[in-house]
Amino acid sequence: NTSTTLSDGTRIDDLIAPATREVQMRVLSDPELYELEMERIFGKTWLLLGHESELPNDGDFVVRDMGSDSVIVTRTKGAIAVNLNVCPHRGMRVATTDCGNTQIHKCNYHGWAFRPNGDFIGAPVEREQMHGKILCKEQLGLQKARVTLYGGLIFATWNLDGPSFEEFLGDTKWYFDILFQRSDRGLEVLGPPQRFMVRANWKTAGEQSAADGFHTLTLHRWLGEVGNYAKKDDKKEAGAANDLSPEMIGVEISSPHGHALRCIDLARKFVALTGMDSSKLTLDEKLNALPPPGVSKDMVPQLKRNLSEDQLKVLVSMPPQVGGIFPNILFAFVYIPQGDGSVLGLTLVHAYVPRGPDKLEFVNWILCERDTPPELREKMLEQSIQLFGTSGMVEQDDSDTWPHMTIAAKGAQGKKQTLKYQAMFETGAPAGWPGPGIVNEGFTKDDTQWHWWLYWHELMTAKQA
C-alpha cells in the first residue's frame, strides 16, 4: 500500500513502536515524511492563524501560513475569511505584503482582482475577454478555507467536511474554555506577533508543546537559580538553586487528538506567592486572593458568569498552565512573581509553522484580557518579551535544543535511534476531579506527548481519499 509505505520500503507503521513507546528518530528529518505531513496533517486539521483583534477594520488582512501554503486572512463584512494566497490565473502570489487594508486584492502579474472573501471580480481592460468564457466567474475565485473563531483565535482548515473545531478539541475544550472563554469581552493581542526562524523540524517543537514538563528541570534550570521563581525574601545563599521540582507536580490531560494540558497545583503556589494556606479558603476567597494569570480582581465576577462551578474549582486549585493544540500550537498562562510581592499573569500562544523538513517559523502572540488597564498591559508586554519568544530568556533555551535534535536525526546512526516516551502515569485522576478526558495526577510524565505521537501516526496512516 503506497499510502503507508515510504519510497525506501519503510512502512510508516514501523516508525512507531507502541509496545515500548518509541518513535524512530528519522521522523525528525525525513523530507518524504515532511511532504506527506503537509497533505495528511496540515491539509486536514484545524490550524491557528492569528487573533481577530489583529483585524479590527473591514478589509484588514494579514498573510499567514497553513502548512506549506500561504493564505490571506481578512476581515470582511464582520466575518473572518481565509483564502489561499495563490492566483488561480497562473499561480502568482496575490498578497505580497505581510499585512494591510484593501477591498480589492489585485494580482501583480496580469491584474486579476478578488474581493476580501476570495470571490473573483474580473480581469483588467477587456473585462469579459481576458478570463475567457470557458469557466464562469464563480470558478475563478481564490480557494476558500473553512474558518472558525475560538476565544477570538482564528482557526482554519482545508478539510471542508471534516470534524468541527469543537469535535476536534473533544474533552479538552472543557479545560481550554477556562483559559479562552472566561471573560465577557475576551482576549486581544498586545501588538502583532513576533516571528523568527529556527533551523529545526516542526515536530521537535510540536511534541514539546504537548506538555513536556520534564525538560524545565534541566534545560531551564536557571529559572530556579536566577530567580523569577524566587521569593523576594528568600534566605538562600546567592547561587543556591531553588528546587523547581514542586512545579512539576499537578494534573496532566492527554487527548486522542494529540492536544495536551499541564495543570499546576496552585496550593503550593499559594504558599509560595502569598504566604497563605489556600486549603482553608472558600472558592470566592481563593479567586480574590490570587486571581488567575491575566485576570484583575474586578474581573472575578466575569469568571463566575462565564464558567461553571467545576471549571472555577479547577481554576483555583489546579489551573491549566501550559499545553498545546495539535499539531503545532503551544499556549502558556503563567504566573510571574513581582518584586513588590504581587503576581503578574502572562498569556502566550505560539504556532510552530513548518518551513521545510529542517526549518520552522516560531510565531508568538502575546494576549491579554480586553479589560486589562494600560499600565498592566505595558508590564505584561515587557515581561513576555523578556521571558518568551524571539529574545525571551526561557525560549532561547528551547530554540537552541530543537536544531540539535534535527541535525542528530540526519546522522547515519542518529536516524536509527529512537525517541523514548516510557515514563508512564499509573495514577489516574485525583479523587473528585471534576473535569473530563484522559486525566493523570502526579509528577509530569510522557503520556501527553505519547498521545501526540499516536495522533500523528493515526493521521499519517489514515486511508487517503
Task: Point out which residues bind ligand FES (CB under 6 A).
Answer: 87, 89-90, 92, 107, 109-112
Q: Is 207 in the site for Fe ion (CB under 5 A)?
A: no
Nearest residue to Fe ion, using CB? 398
User: b/e string for 421-446 if b means 16 or more Cβ within 10 A?
Assistant: beeebeeebeeebebebbbbbeebbb
Q: What is the DSSP string of 426-441?
A: ---SPTT----SEEEE
Q: Give min distance, CB of 88 to ligand FES, in A.
A: 8
Q: Give min distance, CB of 86 to ligand FES, in A.
A: 9
Sign of CA dihedral 213, 214, 220, 222: positive
Looking only at the bridges linking them, the beta strands covering 320-325 and 120-122 are unpaired
The amino acid occupying position 317 is: S
Q: Give min distance, CB of 114 to ligand FES, in A.
A: 10
Nearer to ligand FES, 89 or 377 (CB): 89
Nearer to Fe ion, 361 or 397 (CB): 397
Query: Residue holding cell 524571539?
Result: 390
**Stretch near Fe ion under the rule CB under 5 A, chosen from 51-59, 277-285, 335-343, 391-399:** 391-399
**Residue 89 interacts with which of Fe ion, ligand FES, none, CB < 5 to 8 Å by class:** ligand FES
Q: Compute CA distances 22 → 12, 14, 414, 426, 449, whole Å.
A: 13, 10, 14, 18, 11
Interatomic CA distance for residues 314 and 328, integer angstroms:
25
Q: Give min distance, CB of 111 to ligand FES, in A.
A: 6
| Enclosing H/E stretch for 463 | none
**Residue 196 interacts with which of Fe ion, ligand FES, none, CB < 5 to 8 Å by class:** none
Quick check: helix, strand or coil at residue 93? coil
Interatomic CA distance for residues 335 and 322, integer angstroms:
11
Interatomic CA distance for residues 47 and 459, integer angstroms:
15
Nearer to ligand FES, 40 or 131 (CB): 131
Nearer to ligand FES, 92 or 121 (CB): 92
Quick check: helix, strand or coil at residue 396? helix
Nearer to ligand FES, 90 or 420 (CB): 90
Q: Give min distance, CB of 224 to Fe ion, in A.
A: 14
**Residue 398 interacts with which of ligand FES, Fe ion, none, CB < 5 to 8 Å by class:** Fe ion
Q: Give min distance, CB of 128 to Fe ion, in A.
A: 58
Give the cell for residue 15.
516508525
Nearer to ligand FES, 110 or 379 (CB): 110
Contacting Fe ion (CB under 5 A), which of 22, 65, 207, 398? 398
Nearer to Fe ion, 208 or 311 (CB): 208
Cβ contact 317:309 at 8 Å: no
Interatomic CA distance for residues 160 and 422, integer angstroms:
37
Q: Give min distance, CB of 309 to Fe ion, in A.
A: 33
| Enclosing H/E stretch for 289 | helix 283-289
Cα Rg of the chain (Å, integer):
23
Cβ contact 117:76 at 8 Å: yes
Q: Give min distance, CB of 135 to ligand FES, in A.
A: 14
Nearer to Fe ion, 65 or 398 (CB): 398
**Residue 315 interacts with which of ligand FES, Fe ion, none, CB < 5 to 8 Å by class:** none
**Stretch near Fe ion under the rule CB under 5 A, chosen from 24-32, 51-59, 108-116, 390-398:** 390-398
**Residue 110 interacts with which of Fe ion, ligand FES, none, CB < 5 to 8 Å by class:** ligand FES
**Which residue, 191, 265, 172, is CA-closest to 451?**
172
**Residue 107 interacts with which of Fe ion, ligand FES, none, CB < 5 to 8 Å by class:** ligand FES
Residues that bind Fe ion (CB under 5 A): 398
